[in-house]
Structure 1
Amino acid sequence: MSVHVLASGSSWIESDAVAQCHQVAALDGMLHVAGMPDLHPGKGAPIGAAMRSRVLYPFLVGSDIGCGIAVFPVALKKAVPERLAARFPDLDRAVDPAEVDEEIPAGHTDSLGTVGRGNHFVELARVDAVLDDGQATRAGLARGDLVLIVHSGSRGLGESILRAHTETHGAGPAEDAAAYLAAHDDAVGWGSLNRRLMAARVGAAIGADVGAAIVDECHNLVEVLGNGEYLHRKGAARGDGRDVLVAGTRGTRSFLVAAHAGPEANWSVAHGAGRKMSRADALRRGKAKHTVAELRRTPVGSLVVCGDRQLLFEEAPTAYKKIERVIDDLVAFDLATPVLSTVPLVTYKTADKGRRRDLGST
């Protein structure tokens, strides 16, 4: 078994996260644990890690199976953040399953088309810099283009799958790997459908044409390798020759990268900036430094739609690592090539009906 954290000495990596990597590496059948530059501690297992083993461990994927980030091109004549923020739909309210024109995985209709809490978001952003002309052209994007970034997962479906396992087996391996994988694949498909539904809902609400996803990459999943090994990813995206959106924060840039990670990284790349503060610390420190009004408009001039004041503080940009440092590490370890960066215009966290009325009257 081996552990390799692919981050420079100047990156913010908590010792607790590294310790969790070593704890995972000590599990029966574990072969290699790769920590990404956004590595941080999780509940029982590190977040920002790719873990390869001969044994399938559902707890290493966690409850939000299928969580991922999708990027959709947006055609909109004029993007005025104040007006658009007022028009965002209520993504806490599920859609009518009868309106969904494709099969719903596992027949799970609860919370369909909703974003969830925590670090999940839907963001209208603008491409502010092209870093690799050829790769950006291949992706069909240019400076000034608008995109919709959707970060969410399988909601209650993934949670029910993990709970069914842990109630009997705790943190132990899957007794019936095939049965777990079948349920897991449903959750991955459900998460992708959920992201598409939210993109369509936002497009209809703001009067924009939303195209097919340019990127839709899951970062909570298990992959069966050709040799029968299992590659668990918890907050790590597949990095084997595909494009990945590495999310910053609602007050910083995000980066689209062309991933080309190898075996040392378990063919994986970072999925975001990664937390540097616990939610409790972010709440405590944020209340001492910021007002709610300050957190609703970010340093880059974008707006935040969020009716949950506690969540505003917990998810403040200062609670996360610097996204540029994460990207620099991906480049330094030859895991990915930056293609372009985006800057947020409107970031939706959870409905704020009162603020929507205020914005709509301006």
Structure 2
Amino acid sequence: MSDQHTVVSGTRASVTIFASPQSWIEFDAREQCDRVAALDGMVHVAGMPDLHPGKGAPIGAAMTSSVLYPFLVGSDIGCGIAVFPVRLRRLDPEKLAARFPDLDRPVDPEDVDEEIPAGWTEGLGTVGRGNHFAELARVDSVLEPERAARHDLTSGDLVLIVHSGSRGLGERILRAHTEVHGAGPAVDCAAYLAAHDDAVRWGSLNRRLMAARVADAIGAERSAAIVDVCHNSVEVRDGRYLHRKGAAPGDGRDVLIAGTRGTHSYLVAGHAGPEAGYSVAHGAGRKMSRADALRRGKAKHTVEELRRPLKGSVVVCGDRQLLFEEAPTAYKRIDRVIGDLVEHGLATPVLSTLPVVTYKTAELGGRSSTKRASRAGRGR
């Protein structure tokens, strides 16, 4: 059963949280859902099993309203996860990690052979900070062989998973609104949606550019994405605005739900309906703040442990603080998140992957503490 509480007075929207009693959802996240439900025009708030508190609005939620609220999408408009098949003759994690490109260094816009949305070139082809990553992963278990075969994937195959967004473009769009209207609704919905759509296209382009950079660096052929799903966006559906913040569209498409660099991730077939905002979870979801993860992690883990969280895997991260902030223990159990989606009929697991090389930020001397202010997201 879903964890549901509904206010029927007409002053507040319904709230449904798709989490089992065994799943821990922070009080602050529930409270944020209730505050969002009280906004003018709000119809329904659906919390995913990875629900956790965000800045002003919950992360892991799909929020339907007759009013468009830019702050419910947040600053990283277009953030999403793409999956690219990879073919390699030899799999040596240490050597592959050493060959990963510097995804903190932008590409030259002149080298991009397609139109760059909004003409935004800052950070082009870079991964960003926070929960963003590029990960070479191995298919561990195939759970729905027929569906996995549609992607030409089977056990032992390799994929590149890229999680990133629109970098500074989405932040600029949100700031242009909040500096005038704060957390209020969009005054010119058409203008916001046009800028939003540019950021969504930019995020997709950025993920493709990073995948191409990694493929070239490790000696693999470039490939098209088999999955590319945005989880920070708004769409007009049935005459209403469906805001997603850390929630992936789950209405008939396949979605990669990220675990941690020390656990499985899952490709699932989404089949969520209106009560769930046609959405599924986007990741494991944080269970610790970054400050708590740093404090507890330093008492529990060594840097070397965090660089090799699984046998046969390597984490590329020149920022030691980020290593602790993004430790696997800072996140909820991905198996529990997937289990909740299955229990509530929102998704069917297709296959699972395990990390081989996870890139967070370059291993370069003197860069371990740079650009910290540019981190984005709280999700992985």
TM-score range, shorter chain: over 0.9
**Out of 46, 62, 66, which is 1:54 matched to?**
66
Residue 297 (structure 2) aligns with? 286
Counterpart CA distance in 2 for 1:236 and 1:310 is 27
Once the two structures are superposed, residues 34-81 of structure 1 have per-residue CA deviations (whole angstroms, 9 ceiling, x without a partner) of 000000000110000000000000000000000000000001111100
**Is the aligned partner of 1:125 residue 2:146?**
no
Q: CA deviation at 1:353?
A: 2.5
Who is 2:38 aligned against?
26
Q: Does 1:345 align with 2:321?
A: no
The CA deviation string for residues 317-350 of structure 1, in whole angstroms up to 9 with x for no partner, is 0000000000000100000000000000000000
1: CA distance between counterparts of 2:231 and 2:91?
30
1:72-125 Cα offsets, whole Å, 9 max, x none, are 000111110000000000000000000000000000011000000000000000
- 1:71 aligns with 83
Residue 242 in 1 paired to residue 243 in 2?
no
- What is the DSSP-based 3-state SS (H/G/I as helix, E as strand, rest coil) of the residue aligned with 2:266? strand
Q: Hey, what does 1:144 align to over in structure 2? A: 156
Residue correspondences, number: 354
Structure 1 unmatched ranges of 5 or more: 356-362
State the 1:208 CA deviation. 0.8
Equivalent residue for 1:230?
241
RMSD of aligned Cα (Å): 0.9
The secondary structure found in structure 2 opposite 1:119 is: coil
Residue 272 of structure 2 corresponds to 261
For residues 1-362 of structure 1, the aligned pairs below 5 Å read 1-225=13-237, 227-353=238-364
Q: Which runs of 4+ in 1 moved over 3 A?
A: none
Partner secondary structure for residue 313 of structure 1: helix
SS at match of 2:354: strand
Deviates more, 1:288-297 or 1:188-197: 288-297
2: CA distance, partners of 1:39 / 1:75: 35
Structure 2: segments with no counterpart, 5+ residues:
1-12, 367-380
Contact 1:127 1:145 in 2 (8 A): yes
Residues 8-28 of structure 1, C-alpha deviations (whole Å, 9 max, x = no match):
000121111011000000000
Q: Deviations over 1:107-154 (max 9, x none)?
A: 001100000000000000000100011111112211111000000000
- Separation (CA, whole Å) in 1 of partners of 2:23 and 2:314: 29
Distance in 1 of aligned mates of 2:81 and 2:330 = 20
Query: Closer, same or farther in 2 for the Cα pair 1:63/1:119, shift >3 Å?
Result: same
Query: Structure 1: how far apart are the matches of 2:312 and 2:27?
Result: 34
Instruction: Tell me if structure 2 keeps the 8 A contact 1:252–1:300.
Output: no
**Distance (Å, rounded) in 1 between the aligned partners of 2:254 and 2:47:** 19
Q: Deviations over 1:260-295 (max 9, x none)?
A: 001110100000000000000000000011111111
Amino acid across the alignment from 1:111: G
Which stretch shows the higher mean deviation, 205-214 or 43-52?
Answer: 205-214
Q: Deviations over 1:148-194 (max 9, x none)?
A: 00000000000000000000000000000000000000000000000
In 1, Cα distance between equivalents of 2:83 and 2:235:
22
Amino acid at match of 2:313: S
Q: TM-score, normalised by structure 1?
A: 0.97
State TM-score, norm by structure 2: 0.92
SS of 1:277 mapped into structure 2? coil
Contact 1:295 1:313 in 2 (8 A): yes
